[in-house]
Amino acid sequence: MSRKSQKMKSSKLKNLVIVKADIDRKKIPKFTLHSLDIIKYHYPVVHVEFYKTESKHYHLRVWINKKLSDPELILLQLLLGSDKYRERMNFIRYLNGGKMEDWNLLFTKKLNLPLNSDR
């Protein structure tokens, strides 16, 4: 893909909601693909991408041209097979008043940060 087409693609996807799933499996599960079909039927899906992570798992991003509530976003991520612990923490962050832009993250690699021993 040329740089021009990449810029055009990113500008078209800029104002859409991104459903992000962290799939901790070596293969993409069939239920993820079935759930994706259901989501495509009920929502205006514009673009879908799967990424393989360093740990050989998958990240899935689904761009939707519709405003979603935070609980609806978390539910869609769960339906796609996202890590249940990640989504539980997302829901707790939502309940505590966090903004989706701050809590709905996917990382391309694991961060090994030292623990604070002052606690």
Interaxial angle between packed helices 70-79 and 84-95, expressed in degrees from 0 to 180 and rounded to the nearest 10: 170
C-alpha 25/C-alpha 3 separation (Å) is: 32
- For 74, residues 6+ apart whose C-beta sits below 8 A from its C-beta are 87, 90, 91, 94
Overall CATH class of domain 11-103: alpha beta
pLDDT digits (tens, 9 = 90+) for 44-84: 999 999 988 888 889 999 999 999 999 999 999 999 999 99
Q: Are 17 and 72 in contact (CB under 8 A)?
A: no
User: CA nearest 77: which of 58, 104, 56?
Assistant: 104
Reported confidence tier of residue 37, pLDDT bands at 50, 70, 90:
very high
Cα Rg of the chain, angstroms: 16
Across 29-55, average pLDDT: 93
pLDDT of residue 114: 53
The domain ranges of the chain are 11-103
* Positive or negative: CA dihedral 80, 84, 87, 92: positive
pLDDT of residue 2: 45
Mean pLDDT of the chain: 82
